[in-house]
Amino acid sequence: MKKALSLLMVFLVAVMWSAPGFSADKYVSGNIGITWMSDTEGDILGLTDDYIDGELGFSSGIALFGAFGCDYGDYRIEGELGYQNNDVDSFELSTDFDFGDNGEDFDESFDLDGDITILSLLVNGYYDIDLGGGVELSPTVGVGVAQVSMDDVWPSDFDGEDLGVDINETTFAYQAGIGLGIPVADNIMLDARYRYFATTDFTMLVVNTNIESHSALLGLRVGF
């Protein structure tokens, strides 16, 4: 994964400072918004599909993004650093095992404390569609890497101290979305966007899972 991150950085620098990139207009952007993380199902010890279903639930959280890019007119390429944080709310465990004489399945939900943080580094591409009056509609896709961290995750009603689970994993990530840019001053655009973000599968302790989120963002893009 470190090798992949290094290659991503080399690619990003090469694109930004290539001869075509040097002639392009440069810009910086920043966005803040609300992110909703989808409930995450995990393959526990390879048993999920047949015997055990485990699902983590999350509350809404905050998302922050900053980017530096090159504007070629109809399209843009940028490097983006992202941060999102959500509280971990619950864990639901269900099984297909039969317990007791009644043959009842086990199904239980637990309230959790703790939070999940995602730091991402992506290369994004945009296609800017001119709607008139300087307004732009911009579909986007991006690929890169993300570090997923869970801190102090533990049952809410447990009285023990310093026993929360801490997890850090790095994985590949990608995103897709659409934005609306509205000019508010010379070289300054008000940027409203929707963003879908996801990681590829990765392993946390004995759980194989992935992360998905949806974000509503508002920010500024400043050209220079």
Report which residue type is found at 170.
Answer: T
Give the HSE-up count for residue 106: Cα atoms under 13 Å, Cβ half-sphere: 12
Stated pTM of the model = 0.81
Question: 103-113 burial, b if ≥16 CB within 10 A, otherwise e?
Answer: eeeeeeeeebe
Q: Digits of tens for pLDDT over the chain (224 positions)? A: 555 555 555 555 555 555 454 578 999 999 999 999 998 876 655 554 556 667 788 999 999 999 999 999 999 999 999 999 999 888 877 666 555 555 556 677 778 888 999 999 999 999 999 999 999 999 999 999 999 998 877 777 766 555 567 788 999 999 999 999 999 999 999 999 999 999 998 877 567 788 999 999 999 999 99
Report which residue type is found at 147.
Answer: Q
* Structural domains of the chain, count: 1
Helix (H, G, I), strand (E, B) or coil at 82: strand
Which residue range is the domain that position 172 belongs to? 2-223
Give the burial class of 162: count Cβ atoms within 10 A of its Cβ; 0-12 exposed, 13-18 middle, 19 or more buried: exposed
Q: CA torsion sign, 23 to 28 to 34 to 36?
A: positive
CATH of the domain at 83: 2.40.160.20
Give the number of other Cβ atoms within 10 Å of residue 201's Cβ.
Answer: 12
